[in-house]
Chain A
Amino acid sequence: MEKQSHLLLWKAVFVLIIIGLGFGIYAGSKSIDYTWRWERIPQYIINTEATTVRAPFDGTATIEKGNRLVVTSDYGDDPLVIKKFDNLLVGHGDLVFEGDPLVEVENWNIGPLTWGLVMTLQLSVVSLVFAVVIGLFAGLARISSNPALRYLSITYIELIRGTPLLVQIFIFYFFIGTVLDLDRFTAGVAALSVFTGAYIAEIVRSGIQSISPGQMEAARSLGMNYVQAMVNVILPQAFKRTLPPMAGQFINLIKDSSLVSVISITDLTKAGREVVSSTFAPFEVWFAVALMYLVLTGALSWAIQRLEKRLSASD
């Protein structure tokens, strides 16, 4: 009983602190006379404004049965047929001239923030795949008995971990990108995957080394060669053990992808900056951007937790 009420008390303390923080943000914005304009944000995520279709030539509008608008040209162009629309702006038999509004179509346009989110997602997923491949091979090379492989791997890991990602992105884009004629996206993906690969290599190495040597001996004693033993026995176990640090690294990758905005890739962060300059609502935009990153990273960590749970069947 005693214990129970204490737990409740501390949960209440937590809620109070969160409310306090929220109030702090509100009071802070009050003190600098900031006017919140949240209503400006949604259109940059999904734009529901109707688009107007205009006449491409002079002609006559006819409304056929089945609610089809057909505009026949005065000069023999192919007739324009519009099958779906929401608001009709011309009547049957009206003469229309080039540029006249004909109909309004209500459609959902994806706003720049969403495009940024999609770009961030693309960057992250592609980089993640390459980073895992690079990391796996670098990690295996790191524990190889072949000195050439081992030293190469150590050099790679130390070089990449010892320099800032921002500098690497510039090097990849301005130097390697120029030499190999890479576009922005490729250069960005290359920089991100090479950077993350170095960290994954260390995670892979520690994962493999955490598996008891007896496992390799047992696999080899059954006639498996090194590769078979790695693939069937060691790596599946190491994979499970390295999931938590891997999840952290993947989340870092999503967040680090914001740095490629410096080479003019319109990811979520760059989109945010652009939207700020057209809305003059920096607080709202950056909060919205932060929330969108949180959705990505939250979904990822949820998925990995699910995977961990599924793999724990053999525990």
Chain B
Amino acid sequence: MTNRTDKSIIQARNIEKIYPNGCHALKKVSLDINRGEVVVIIGPSGSGKSTFLRTLNQLETISDGTIHIDEVSLTDRKTNINKVREEVGMVFQSFNLFPHKTALGNVALSPIKVKKKPRAVAEQEGRELLKKVGLAERMNNYPSHLSGGQQQRVAIARALAMHPKIMLFDEPTSALDPEMVGEVLDVMKSLARDGMTMVVVTHEMGFAREVADRVVFMEDGELVFEESPERFFSSDNPRLQRFLGQVL
């Protein structure tokens, strides 16, 4: 137990996911992620990479296997999943901002309701976070009055407001217009520089090459291959080659 406290903050072992309709989405997926590590997961659509990411905060339950987040078992019935989720921030492809709240309202809501922080404190922290993602001018705008890139940056600030130990990114730039991808990736890069543990599902190969400590390739619900970016992109694994040939 003690020997992994400094190392693996996420331990996923032999994850199986079979949907009630028989679809076998994850097959014996195991992955350990260290504190402060940035892991990028790539793979064709339908490969199970988003499903795997969503099992890490139990938005998706698993059929078999074990997941430990910071030594807390997610499969243990006694675990309070809401407590775990406070530690694991998530950013979605479709932003999922709360449309009835302003940018600041989105960021401050959870600290107020879940962590029971006084409104003034939560809003002060929220303002600082929004400043950090470059949205100081936009705090009182409703999501419908923000561009996609701005919305996604608010979503990142909203997840950070809970002071998570881990950030999960589920294709954060896939729903964005090309000119807005950069601003979101920049925020993610600075987050990585600050030492955040990040798991990123993305199609941005440039980001993987530049920021990732490790790149994971998934296909057909299996974890096919994991390597450091340098070795990953120069690998001659045939399945990886086929995929990279299609996307690059």
Residue contact A223 to B99, C-beta cutoff 8 Å: no
Asked whether A222 and B59 contact (CB < 8 A) given A215-B96, A217-B96, A314-B99, the answer is: no
CB distance from B52 to the nearest CB of A (A): 15
Tell me if A246 counts as interface (CB < 8 A to partner B).
no
Given A223-B114, A232-B109, verify A218-B86 contact (CB < 8 Å): no
User: CA–CA, A232 to B88, complex, Å?
Assistant: 20
Q: Please name all residues of chain A whose beta carbon is closer than 8 Å to the beta carbon of B86 when the two chains form the complex.
A: 222-223
B43 at the interface (CB under 8 A from A): no
Given contacts A232-B109, A314-B144, A315-B144, A220 and B96 within 8 Å (CB-CB): no
The reply to whether the CB of A212 lies closer than 8 angstroms to some CB of chain B is yes
Query: Taking CB as reference atom, which chain A residue is nearest B97?
Result: A218
Does A220 lie within 8 Å of B85, measured CB to CB? Answer: yes
Residues of B within 8 A of A228 (CB): 113-114
How many residue pairs between the two chains, A and B, have CB atoms under 8 Å in the bound complex? Answer: 70
A221: Cβ under 8 A from any B Cβ: yes
Complex contacts, B96 vs chain A, CB 8 Å:
212, 214-215, 217-218
Are B113 and A232 within 8 A (Cβ)? yes
Q: Is the CB of A222 within 8 A of B158?
A: yes
Q: A220-B59, A222-B159, A232-B109 are in contact. Are A237 and B85 (CB under 8 A)?
A: no
Q: Is the CB of A221 within 8 A of B142?
A: no
Contact A314 B85 (CB under 8 A): no
In the complex, B57 has a CB within 8 A of chain A: yes
Size category of the binding interface on chain A: 20 to 34
| Cα distance, A224 to B59, chains bound together (Å) | 12
Give 1 or 0 for each of B89-112: 1 = CB within 8 Å of chain A CB: 110101011111110000001100
- 29 inter-chain pairs at a CB distance below 8 angstroms, sorted by A residue, are A214-B92, A215-B98, A217-B92, A218-B90, A218-B98, A218-B155, A219-B98, A219-B110, A221-B57, A221-B59, A221-B85, A221-B88, A221-B90, A222-B85, A222-B86, A222-B162, A223-B86, A223-B162, A224-B110, A224-B114, A232-B109, A236-B100, A237-B99, A237-B100, A314-B100, A314-B102, A314-B142, A314-B144, A315-B144
- Name 19 extra pairs, CB < 8 A, besides A220-B85, A314-B144: A215-B96, A218-B90, A218-B92, A218-B97, A218-B98, A219-B98, A219-B110, A221-B57, A222-B158, A223-B85, A224-B110, A228-B113, A228-B114, A236-B100, A237-B98, A240-B100, A314-B99, A314-B100, A314-B142
What residues of chain B have their CB less than 8 Å away from a CB belonging to chain A? 57, 59, 82-83, 85-86, 88-90, 92, 94, 96-102, 109-110, 113-114, 142-144, 155, 158-159, 162
